[in-house]
């Protein structure tokens, strides 16, 4: 088991999803990943915590405003959310949600980098973020998919002190500019330059990838439960990978790690 007790600033630490049909989404993810779910109640906006073996892995909640799209959000850790929000603005980003206390769990802000990529910033108190990672039924990877990778990476360097390791990848469509994001000498996320092969309507975004025992079986189960398979299970260097959407349209990825 991979249990986490603390996240360094700049490391992806948490993911949650917004849904247009909370009961249906909770049922879907419980079936797909074997998660337990606990609704935090009306005072918490029915924020529903997912756990695996008693440890937090992710969460889901109802869409906050009409017209918003179901999606998964990645949160980066910080020791001081006010300071980070200030740095976001200084580096050309936008603060959509000013720093706010979430009960005794922590303090958060919702921001965007200069390319328009939205993400969360989390200052932990009682809730550090995901406590189970890198195993089936838990988050395994976060990736920045962006149409201006140079502008994005300069922003994350400036705000979080993230280091960048160049690792271009050859694909059947040609070379792809790929970067590893590193904190304290450890790779913690990836970044991809979105090419013309990406559909025009897909904006720059942070994607989330969950580990599964069998990517082919999980993709098939997703379709059976009303979701969609956008990239069929495919072998890549880290494992067998697929891109899916849940029944309400929130996109995520799965991987069977090698």
Give the CATH number, domain containing residue 210.
3.10.180.10
Q: What is the pLDDT of residue 237?
A: 87
Q: What is the mean pLDDT of residues 235-253?
A: 95
Residue 193 in any domain: the answer is: no
Q: Containing domain of residue 116, as a range? A: 1-146+203-258
Query: Does residue 83 belong to any structural domain of this protein?
Result: yes
Q: Domain for residue 249, yes or no?
A: yes
Q: Does 196 reside within a domain?
A: no
On the question of pLDDT at 64 being above 80, the answer is no
Q: Average pLDDT in the 166-170 region? A: 74
113 to 23, 150, 167, 238: CA distances (angstroms): 32, 12, 22, 28
**What total of structural domains would you count in the chain?**
1
Specify if 180 maps to a domain.
Answer: no
What was the pLDDT predicted at 165? Answer: 92
115 part of a folded domain: yes
| Structure confidence at residue 22 (pLDDT) | 96
Does residue 184 lie in a domain region? no
Average pLDDT over residues 156-175: 83
Q: Over 60: is that where the pLDDT of 26 sits?
A: yes
For residue 174, what pLDDT is reported?
65
Tell me if 182 is assigned to some domain: no
Residue-level pLDDT at 170: 67
């Amino acid at each position: 088991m991979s249990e986490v007790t603390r996240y360094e600033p700049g490391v992806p630490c948490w993911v949650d999803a917004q849904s247009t049909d909370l009961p249906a989404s909770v049922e879907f993810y419980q079936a797909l990943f074997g998660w337990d779910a606990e609704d935090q109640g009306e005072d918490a906006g029915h924020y529903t915590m997912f756990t695996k073996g008693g440890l937090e892995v992710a969460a889901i909640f109802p869409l906050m405003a009409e017209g918003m799209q179901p999606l998964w959000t990645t949160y980066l850790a910080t020791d001081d959310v006010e300071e980070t929000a200030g740095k976001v603005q200084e580096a050309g980003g936008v603060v959509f949600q000013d720093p706010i206390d979430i009960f005794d769990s922590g303090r958060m802000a919702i921001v965007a980098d200069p390319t328009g990529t939205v993400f969360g910033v989390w200052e932990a108190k009682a809730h550090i973020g995901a406590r189970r990672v890198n195993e089936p039924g838990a988050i395994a990877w976060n990736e920045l998919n962006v149409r201006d990778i140079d502008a994005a990476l300069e922003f994350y360097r400036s705000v979080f002190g993230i280091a960048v390791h160049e690792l271009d990848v050859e694909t059947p469509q040609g070379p792809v500019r790929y970067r590893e994001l590193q904190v304290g000498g450890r790779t913690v996320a990836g970044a991809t330059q979105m090419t013309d092969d990406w559909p025009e309507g897909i904006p720059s975004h942070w994607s989330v990838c969950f580990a599964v025992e069998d990517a082919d079986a999980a993709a098939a189960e997703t379709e059976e439960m009303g979701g969609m398979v956008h990239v069929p299970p495919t072998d890549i260097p880290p494992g067998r990978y697929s891109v899916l959407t849940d029944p309400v349209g929130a996109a995520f990825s799965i991987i069977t790690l090698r």
